[in-house]
């Protein structure tokens, strides 16, 4: 237990507070429920759109007006404990929701030229995804140092929760110098977890067919996850080994 807590703190420090990730806005002109829109974004892009600062919102609003985009889903939603989060796990800090909107009983977020709104998640609306660029870093580093390096780029080690992202990652890994690449997977509190935002971990959701061979009780030092370029699968690996890695 102590080890897990310690690791959590180290990870929180490495991830920092204000991650700015360069992302491309993708508007999808197909009507879906919020959950189906999320699924689509995760399969074809990175995730439903999150908006983390007034700069991001300002730039988006400009292109929104420019492209005459209608009110459409963004990644905002009320979780089971009624906290407003972005799809992907980050707690909402910057907001354009008015207090009236926050009082509503419905749980999924949209953006229009007028601001952000909460709507019934079952409504079908067009939606907004974002896409981040996966960067292969051709340097050999330990898992912790690799995470630190990604952080300096305003990114994190790549998170491969969907089939789409694994395929895209394999495509951008052709020039890798090592047969295994660090990914954002850690063994903590007896579970393999994707490391999300500051202090927030998500239980494993392995992409179709992958991760099945991850050991339930890995050796004490094999507590980090890699993507094997030969087997196209995830494996547990010694965190102190030095490998190339992927940030996004
Ligand atoms: C767009 O983003 C840039 C860089 O983050 C920022 O300097 C600029 O003020 C933003 N534009 C608006 C309208 O907020
Ligand atoms: C909006 O449109 C104008 C004129 O067509 C263009 O100059 C500007 O770059 C566009 N801004 C954005 C954020 O798309
Ligand atoms: C949301 O819409 C569905 C389907 O129209 C409806 O059954 C449900 O009661 C609505 N939920 C809320 C909270 O309004
Ligand atoms: C990283 O390790 C691989 C395999 O050991 C090696 O071929 C490569 O040259 C190393 N890269 C750097 C930048 O040292």
Q: How many CB atoms lie within 10 A of CB 27?
A: 15
- Report how far ligand 1's centroid is from the alpha carbon of 26 (Å): 18
The residue nearest atom 11 of ligand 1, judged by CA position, is 59
65 lines ligand 2 (CB under 6 A): no
Instruction: Give me the domains of the chain, ranges plus CATH numbers.
Output: 2-17+133-247 (3.10.100.10), 23-130 (3.10.100.10)
Give residue-wise pLDDT tens across range 178-205: 999 999 998 887 888 887 654 455 555 5
Diameter of the chain measured on Cα atoms: 55
68 lines ligand 2 (CB under 6 A): no
Q: Are 76 and 86 in contact (CB under 8 A)?
A: yes
Q: CB neighbours of 167 closer than 8 A, spacing ≥ 6?
A: none
pTM: 0.62
- Report how far ligand 3's centroid is from the alpha carbon of 106 (Å): 8
- Report how far ligand 1's centroid is from the alpha carbon of 227 (Å): 36
The DSSP secondary structure of 119-164, one letter per residue, reads: E-TTS-EEEEEEEE--EEEEEEE-HHHHHHHHHHTT--B----SHH
Give pLDDT, residue 223. 93
Q: Is the pLDDT of residue 3 over 50?
A: no
How many residues are there in the chain? 248
Cα Rg of the chain, angstroms: 19
Give pLDDT, residue 9. 36
Q: What is the DSSP letter of 91?
A: B
Question: What does the alpha-carbon distance between residue 30 and residue 186 come to, in Å, rounded to a whole number?
Answer: 36
Question: What does the alpha-carbon distance between residue 128 and residue 103 come to, in Å, rounded to a whole number?
Answer: 24
Q: Residue 175 — pLDDT band, cuts 50, 70, 90?
A: confident
Ligand 1 pocket list (CB less than 6 A): 55, 58-59, 62
Question: What does the alpha-carbon distance between residue 211 and residue 202 come to, in Å, rounded to a whole number?
Answer: 15
Give residue-wise pLDDT tens across range 4-61: 334 443 343 334 333 344 678 999 999 999 999 999 988 788 789 999 899 899 999 9
Give the helix ranges, DSSP H, for the chain: 2-15, 34-44, 54-66, 99-102, 143-152, 163-171
């Amino acid at each position: 237990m102590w080890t897990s807590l310690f690791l959590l703190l180290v990870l929180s420090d490495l991830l920092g507070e204000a991650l700015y990730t360069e992302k491309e806005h993708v508007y999808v002109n197909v009507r879906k429920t919020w959950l189906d829109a999320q699924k689509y974004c995760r399969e074809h892009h990175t995730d439903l759109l999150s908006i983390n600062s007034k700069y991001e919102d300002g730039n988006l609003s400009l292109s929104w007006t420019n492209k005459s985009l209608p009110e459409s889903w963004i990644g905002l939603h009320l979780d089971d404990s009624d906290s407003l989060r972005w799809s992907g796990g980050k707690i909402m800090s910057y907001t354009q929701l008015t207090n009236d909107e926050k009082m509503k009983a419905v749980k999924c977020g949209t953006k229009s030229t007028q601001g952000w709104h909460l709507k019934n998640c079952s409504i079908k609306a067009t939606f907004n995804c974002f896409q981040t660029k996966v960067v292969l870093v051709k340097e050999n580093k330990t898992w912790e140092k690799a995470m630190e390096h990604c952080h300096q780029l305003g990114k994190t080690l790549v998170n491969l929760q969907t089939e789409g992202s694994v395929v895209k990652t394999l495509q951008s890994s052709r020039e890798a110098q090592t047969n295994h690449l660090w990914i954002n997977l850690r063994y903590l509190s007896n579970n393999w977890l994707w490391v999300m935002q500051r202090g927030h971990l998500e239980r494993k959701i392995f992409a179709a067919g992958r991760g099945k061979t991850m050991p339930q009780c890995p050796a004490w030092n094999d507590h980090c996850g890699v993507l094997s370029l030969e087997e196209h699968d995830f494996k547990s690996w010694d965190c102190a080994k030095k490998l190339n890695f992927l940030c996004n």
